[in-house]
Structure 1
Amino acid sequence: MDDVEAPAFQRARRPEHRELRRREILDAAEALLAELPVEEISLRELGRRLGVSKTHVVRYFESREGVFLELLGRLRRSWLEALANEWPAPPCEADDVMRAWAGSLAARPMLCQLWSLLPTVLERNVSAEAVRAYKLADLEDRTTLARLVSDRVPGLGADDAMTLTRYAVVALVGLWPLSNPTPTLVEATADPRLRASRVDFATMYGEILQTTLAGLLARA
């Protein structure tokens, strides 16, 4: 649909134009997220970036959270498409795969930021239908991720690989905010006595993945 041509952002009537409008809104949200935290981006701000009203944006997304929920899915799919080239090819060491997993996410702070907001922000103020669609897409993406892990860790069964992807999301949701503290916390933990409070996301996330994988393999 990249070759679809339509006038500037007006109400779409054909399905392909409606899809184009949704992509334009997601593109604007991604651009704004590179400049501002999520909590400062409103539907009105999105409309202003696109040169339309807030009402116009609501024709395509039911809420601000709905926009970022779909953007999270788009960024996650893009990440999954890149993993085959970013992760070590089999045969390889399991720990190397876990470290590569952590490093590939650390290189995508926007994806991590949105993912960490999933339970507290993005799944609020959206319909059950929107959440269901997201969860089904997430399940499909985690199945793909589990398959990639299983290909590189032969001793890991399909069920345990899916369990690992679930634990990985839970760990990311908790760890990302801790590893990206507010300026006040940065100042407070500059005290040498609080050195252990400083968290490097890639390092700790890799350790969490390695430990979780070791436990799953031992249990199996």
Structure 2
Amino acid sequence: MAQDPGFQRARRPEQREQRRRVILDATEELLSEVPIDEISLRELSRRLGTSKTNVIRYFETREGVLLALLNRSREAWLDVLEERLSVGAPGGEDVLRVLAESLAEQPLLCQLWSRLPTVLERNVSAETVLPYKLTDLEHRRRLARLIRSQLPALGEDEALHLTRFAVVGLVGLWPFSNPAPSTAEVLSDPRLVDAHIDFATAYADFLRVSVAGLLAGAGDPLGAMLPPTEKPRAS
């Protein structure tokens, strides 16, 4: 395949941003066809019709590409969630159900997010991780505000702390609710019916328990029946 000279000519910031978008679009397309572990810079550059060196000019590693795609996918999901909450106005704990269901509709985001600690944050420099982490923090703050708009009993600190739990819960639940084909076949055995995990249902339950614990730790009467926990500090 002939190389695209356009990747070599990008000099202005807007041109570089356009090239980055092209790379992320190609990566997203690849992820719809193959698992994360099978994606390489070589395969990505082949899909783009350019050299591996030209891809590295915009992203230092494969994991750097995936981190950027995770940020982009998460921002798009937050846009969807915010619109859904403003239109549906669920109120109360229903916001957690809406959050879980809207996230379940974003398999690319969940796949990337669930591999964050084991894959995406490996083989990248501090210069790549820092901007990712700063964007992640802004996204979690935005998520915390959306949750508090429906659950005002949560303080700012508690809502932001909940977003930490939310990430940990997703990292654990998504792989279990999307097992490998051989495991999925085994789980069809009636004796293992309790081993099947529906992500949206389990995730909403996880968030409800987390909220109850945070409310109890904050001295809220709604959580008075639970043992007290240490009040979380702001991130």
Aligned to 1:187: 185
1:4-153 mapped onto 2 (5 Å cutoff)? 8-87=6-85, 92-153=90-151
Once residues 90 and 104 of structure 1 are traced to their aligned partners in structure 2, the CA distance between those partners, rounded to angstroms, is 13
Structure 1 residue 88 displacement after superposition? 5.9
Higher relative contact order (CA 8 A, sep 6+): 1
C-alpha offsets along residues 3-46 of structure 1, whole Å, 9 cap, x if unaligned?
A: xxxx7443412222111111110111011111111111111111
Aligned-partner residue type, residue 92 of structure 2: A
* CA deviation after TM superposition for structure 1 residue 92, in Å: 4.2
User: Are the aligned partners of 2:26 and 2:47 in contact in 1 as well (CA < 8 Å)?
Assistant: yes
User: What residue number does 1:205 align with?
Assistant: 203
Tell me if structure 2 keeps the 8 A contact 1:88–1:96: no
**Alpha-carbon offset, residue 61 of structure 1:** 0.5
Relative distance call for 1:124 and 1:157 in structure 2 (3 A) is same
1:217, 1:183 → 2: CA distance? 40
Alpha-carbon offset, residue 57 of structure 1:
0.6
Residue 90 of structure 1: how far off its partner (Å): 8.6
Superposition deviation, residue 98 in structure 1: 0.5
Deviations 1:153-196 (A, max 9, x none): 11110000001000000000010000000011112222211111
Normalising by the residue count of structure 1, what TM-score does the alignment of the two structures yield?
0.93
Specify every segment of 5 or more residues in structure 1 that has no aligned partner in the other structure, as ranges. 1-6
Distance across 2 between alignment mates of 1:28 and 1:91: 36
Q: SS of 1:154's equivalent?
A: coil
Corresponding letter in the other structure for 1:170: V
Structure 1 residues 90 and 153: CA distance shift in structure 2, 3 A: farther
More displaced, 118-127 or 78-87?
78-87
CA distance in 1, matches of 2:194, 2:89: 35
Structure 1, residues 46-87: CA drift from partner, whole Å, max 9, x if none? 111110011111111100000000000001111111212222
Where does structure 2 lack aligned partners over 5 or more consecutive residues? 219-235
Cα distance 1:40–1:91, how it changes in 2: closer, same or farther (>3 A)?
closer
Distance 1:76 1:91, change over 3 A: closer
- Is the 1:155–1:217 contact (alpha carbons within 8 Å) kept by the matching residues of 2? yes
Aligned to 1:196: 194
Give aligned pairs, total. 215
Give the residue type in structure 2 aligned to 1:208.
F
> Mean Cα displacement is larger for which, 183-192 or 202-211?
183-192
| Contact 2:7/2:54, CA 8 A, preserved across alignment | no
| Distance (whole Å) between structure 2 residues aligned to residue 87 and residue 32 of structure 1 | 31
**Matched AA of 1:142:** R
Q: Distance in 2 between matches of 1:17 and 1:60?
A: 11
Cα 1:90–1:192 change in 2 (3 A) is: closer
